[in-house]
Structure 1
Amino acid sequence: MKVLIVDDQYDQKIEEIIAQLKKQEITDIHHVMYTREAYQKMLSCEYDLVLLDLHIREDIGEEISTDAGSALLELIFTDDAVIRPKFTVGITSHEESYQENIDIFQKFGVTLHLFNSEPNFIDNILNIANRPSSGVKEYDVAIITALRHIEFDALLRNGSDWKELLTDDCNKYYTTTFVDKQNVERSIIATFCPKMGMPVASAVTMKVLNKFSPKLLVMTGIAAGVEGKVNLGDILAAELVWDWGSGKLEGNESESYLHADPDPIKMNPSLAIELRDISENRQYVDQIKYKWCGNSPDTQLSMHVGAVASGSSVLADYLSVDNIKKQKRSVIGVEMEAYGVLTAVSLVGKKPPETLILKSVCDFANPHKNDDWQKYAAYTSTSMAFEVISKHIDFS
């Protein structure tokens, strides 16, 4: 087993860790004192375990930085040139640093350990590092929804034989298979976000990408539609997504206003063309509505391909939607996670998967909004997602 310790000191903590490693008959131990040196080593060497301190210098002669360890962690997961270690653990003896950095470690699915000279520290780390993966592997498709209630429940009720996958992770994962358009059995991993919003969606997405390396990433769920352009239950395929709250907020004592400065992310053009064909030919939508067992809106079910805005707030007023329409006149819907998902995909480092955002309209983000059509909308987005991945994606 090859171990890299990244710590700017050779102190009692490092002596204890090395002693514990040697008790496990691990002698191929490298110790570096700067993150730049660690980075150089990981360009040419694959380590089984990296122990990464938070308080460290980037290079010789520089000051100790409280975020250098986190910066190196980001490089490990986003730089294609790095040979990613099989297992990474962050370590710190400082409670304050632990609290400041825990979110970024959780974003990449990496343990950050508050070290207190525990005699069994290395034993516990090695037990986790050497534990069988319990089915963790590369998957053809990863599906992420927002909250478990409504959206993920719709996924588990779609008729597939879902099984829970046990992993060393705070997220819950479920797996199933389907047959693609070339009659090849493909695998799916699915999970949900513990909270609404772009930051959590981005963190969960990055973890899924690094853990399971899917060829296709799909997000399903519910959204608000732009009244007059779409109907309740309609499926929104996001061809372009932006953060409608991005920009500079200015104002005075009586009012404030946003100078919007969005940075939109677009869908793969060939996938967008395929979805437009599905939409224009009204494929699947009639049978999806027919199979629904509950109440459904009186309007015809359709799929729309277009611009969807993401934001950090639940909207229930006319003015906010009007302001979003000023940013992008062609907007068809508003939701809270898609931009975070797409941002994570763009930063994953290795070859990013194709990404498909399919959300269905449950309300129009006005004062009359209610929860009446959430289950129906979650059902229509999930149903369309499975039609697309099984009949229109070339996984080869």
Structure 2
Amino acid sequence: MKSKEVTLLVLDNQKHFDEYLVRLGKDSFHEIHLVQNEREIRERLMLLNGDEKVCIVVHAFYQDLGGIKNFQSWGIVKDYPLLSYLYATDGNTDTVKEMMKENELDEEEVYKYHKVRAVIENDELEIASAYEILGEKSIDSIIEEKNYDYVIITALEVEMSKIRDIIEEQGCYDDNESHVVYYGRFKDAPDKKVIYVSQLETGMIDASILATEMIIRFSPKYLIMSGVLGGRPNKTELGDVVISKQIFTVDKGKLKNGKLEKEIENVYTGGAITQKIETAKKHIKRFLEDEFKTGLGQFNIHVGPVACVRQVIDQDGYFESNIVGVDRKAIALEMEGYGIARACEIVNNKKTKPLIIKSVMDNTKDKTDSSKDLAAWTSAQTIRFLIKENLI
């Protein structure tokens, strides 16, 4: 087989990959991609085209065989039995094989990096296509069979990074060249399966489009939005969690004589779920403070109305002037929730329940991003608690 017909996935670290790319022959293959963990391998496999031939090169890591140990423990070979792979080293191949025997690892041939191309060109490996590796079933049908009750959407990658911490990822797919959709199980409740995906852009429009796609595709019981928002000044603190009872907009209406006559859009997101959450607020608070570990975290849980706006707010007095006048009990504002809740209201006969769980990263004035990481964490951990305790 011509090496130009083959895509290589190289399990390695960035520094070593860059150093040995020339020895592999970086222009001799169809494509070469660095993968550094199990998730990246599975993700890259799902993104292959049907006829694309693929082989994995596993860097042995000469000192402790970390690359081989990880690769054998991840179950990649079991899950993809037609996937070709080989072990490579820049050290002594006989030494590596002896170390494999001593460590009771599955013994395989080991090659020097400059030999990889020759192995492929000489047909020493049977290299399958993505279609053969993934099987005849489409990724769509595989996922739809799994019956997912939960979909989690975030607007930002920092928010998604905290969601990843509470989920054991099982795979991903991308069939519309836009969103990469991941699927897995909650670590604290492995019987509960979840789809999770980030928006391409922040804001209400992207949120409603993505939410609609997820509802039509998977018909989840719950569509959860996790992330960060702006809290009401003097009523919320950084890291506080906000669960919406209703979502409303404040910037739609008729402009007349220089004044906006507001037309309020509103979706009720309360009910049995938020009642259960209100009952459990002190338990959620204790859980967050225990998990924060420093002993300094004191997080409040707010359940109430949330405003949805179409711009980032960094203005003293904005909340009191523009939000409180619409709903005096409003506790926060953000940019996506109405799109999520509205999609749940009009798609799939309201069978999917929206749950907006976001945490305070600022108080809509003197805005910085310094608390974004903390807020994304308390939001994700609240979802973790609700799943773990079977509240949703």
Alignment of 1:136-285 (within 5 A): 136-137=143-144, 138-148=147-157, 150-158=158-166, 160-169=167-176, 170-178=178-186, 185-251=191-257, 256-279=258-281, 282-285=282-285
Q: Is the 1:133–1:167 contact (alpha carbons within 8 Å) kept by the matching residues of 2?
A: no
CA distance in 2, matches of 1:338, 1:316: 19
Q: Contact (CA 8 Å) 2:233, 2:363: kept in 1 or not?
A: yes
Paired residues of 1:224 and 1:364 also in contact (CA < 8 A): yes
Say which one has the larger Rg. Answer: 2
Matching residue within 121, 133, 151 for 2:140: 133
For residue 393 of structure 1, report the CA deviation from its aligned partner.
3.6
The aligned runs of 1:69-84 (5 Å cut-off) are none
Counterparts of 1:353-372 in structure 2, within 5 Å, are: 353-366=352-365, 368-372=366-370
Distance 1:198 1:302 in 2: 26
**Counterpart contact for 1:312–1:336, Cα < 8 Å:** yes
State, as a whole percentage, how many aligned pairs show the same letter.
Answer: 26
- Of 299, 302, 326, the match for 1:301: 299
Alignment match of 2:387 (pick from 386, 389, 392):
389
Matched position secondary structure for 1:171: coil
Aligned to 2:374: 376
2:329 matched residue in structure 1: 330
1:313 CA drift (Å): 0.3
Shift in Å at residue 136 of structure 1?
2.0
C-alpha distance in 2 between matches for 1:187 and 1:248: 45
Q: Structure 1 pair 346/240, CA: closer, same or farther in 2 (3 Å)?
A: same
**Superposition map of 1:83-122 within 5 A:** none
Q: Give ranges in structure 1 of 5+ residues lacking alignment.
A: 1-128
Amino acid at match of 1:187: K
Provide TM-score, normalisation by structure 1. 0.60
Deviations 1:58-94 (A, max 9, x none): xxxxxxxxxxxxxxxxxxxxxxxxxxxxxxxxxxxxx
Inter-partner Cα distance in structure 1 for 2:288 and 2:191: 23
**Cα gap change, 1:151 to 1:184, in 2 (>3 Å):** closer
Unaligned runs of 5+ in 2: 1-135
1:139-172 per-position Cα deviation (integer Å, ceiling 9, x unaligned): 1100001122x111111123x3123312312211
**Matched residues in 2 for 1:136 and 1:185: separation?**
15
Instruction: State the 1:130 CA deviation.
Output: 7.8
Letter in 1 for 2:271: P
Letter of the 1:336 counterpart: M
C-alpha separation between the residues in 1 aligned to 2:373 and 2:271? 30
2:224–2:354: 8 Å Cα contact kept in structure 1?
yes
Cα distance change on mapping 1:383 and 1:283 into 2, 3 Å? same
> Residue by residue, what CA displacement relative to the aligned partner does 1:347-383 show, whole Å, maximum 9, x if unpaired?
21334212211000000011x1111110000000010
AA paired with 1:375?
D
CA distance in 2, matches of 1:167, 1:213: 18
Q: Hey, what's the Cα distance between the residues in 1 that align with 2:160 and 2:381?
A: 12
2:186 is paired with a residue whose SS is: strand
Question: Are residues 178 and 157 of structure 1, via their aligned partners in 2, closer, same or farther at CA, if it must alter by over 3 Å?
Answer: closer
* Aligned length, in residue pairs: 253
> Match of 1:70?
none
Kept in 1, the 8 Å contact 2:255–2:261? The answer is yes
SS at structure 2 position matched to 1:218: strand
The separation in 1 between residues aligned to 2:164 and 2:381, in whole angstroms, is: 11
SS in 1 for 2:142: coil
- Cα shift at 1:176: 1.8
Could you state the TM-score of these two structures normalised by the residue count of structure 2? Answer: 0.60
Local SS of the residue matching 1:326: coil
**1:292 aligned onto 2:278:** no
Q: Do the aligned partners of 1:237 and 1:304 also contact (CA within 8 Å) in 2? A: yes
